[in-house]
């Protein structure tokens, strides 16, 4: 079951806060990332692996800027503000467009402001064009 029953553009900060207060556990459709992906080849590769894995399987959401409880349960505990979230979305989008073959049609992301700071929500559709592969060569620019 998908964690959101609305379009990506309609997701609000309250929706993110409800994931935390409701202790909505990670699943095959939902993955939390405490910190933004590093601006390095390894960071880009980690992001692309997460995107392609979800696209090749069931689709879902990455929520960047949500900390887990630390017990390894996949239960969210707090928002961790993502600095410059809008530019992070652009960077990650460019990485995905240039380094996944075939491209993941419908991949979308946006920054969402909560009362505790900004997060990034990445919507990854289940692909009808799988398998998608990471084709990461030299990435120019951050």
Confidence bin at 137 (pLDDT 50/70/90)? low
Architecture of domain 12-128: 2-Layer Sandwich (3.30)
**Is the backbone peptide bond immediately before 18 cis, with ω within 30 degrees of 0?**
no
On whether the pTM is more than 0.75, the answer is yes
H helix intervals, the chain: 13-21, 41-56, 85-99
- Of the CA atoms within 13 Å of residue 83, those in its CB half-sphere come to 1
- State the sign of the Cα–Cα–Cα–Cα dihedral 140, 93, 33, 50: negative
- Of the CA atoms within 13 Å of residue 42, those in its CB half-sphere come to 1
- Sequence spans of domains, the chain: 12-128
Q: Please state, rounded to an integer, the average pLDDT across all residues of the chain.
A: 92
Structure tokens at 126: 């289940």
């Amino acid at each position: 079951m998908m964690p959101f029953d609305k379009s990506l553009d309609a997701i609000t900060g309250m929706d993110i806060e409800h994931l935390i207060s409701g202790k909505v556990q990670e699943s095959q459709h939902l993955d939390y990332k405490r910190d933004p992906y590093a601006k390095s080849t390894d960071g880009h590769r980690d992001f692309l692996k997460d995107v392609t894995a979800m696209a090749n399987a069931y689709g879902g959401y990455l929520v960047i800027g949500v900390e887990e409880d630390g017990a390894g349960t996949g239960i969210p505990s707090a928002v961790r503000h993502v600095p410059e979230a809008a530019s992070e979305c652009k960077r990650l989008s460019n990485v995905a467009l240039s380094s996944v073959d075939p491209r993941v049609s419908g991949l979308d992301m946006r920054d969402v402001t909560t009362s505790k700071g900004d997060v990034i929500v990445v919507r990854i559709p289940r692909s009808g064009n799988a398998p998608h592969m990471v084709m990461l060569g030299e990435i120019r620019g951050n």
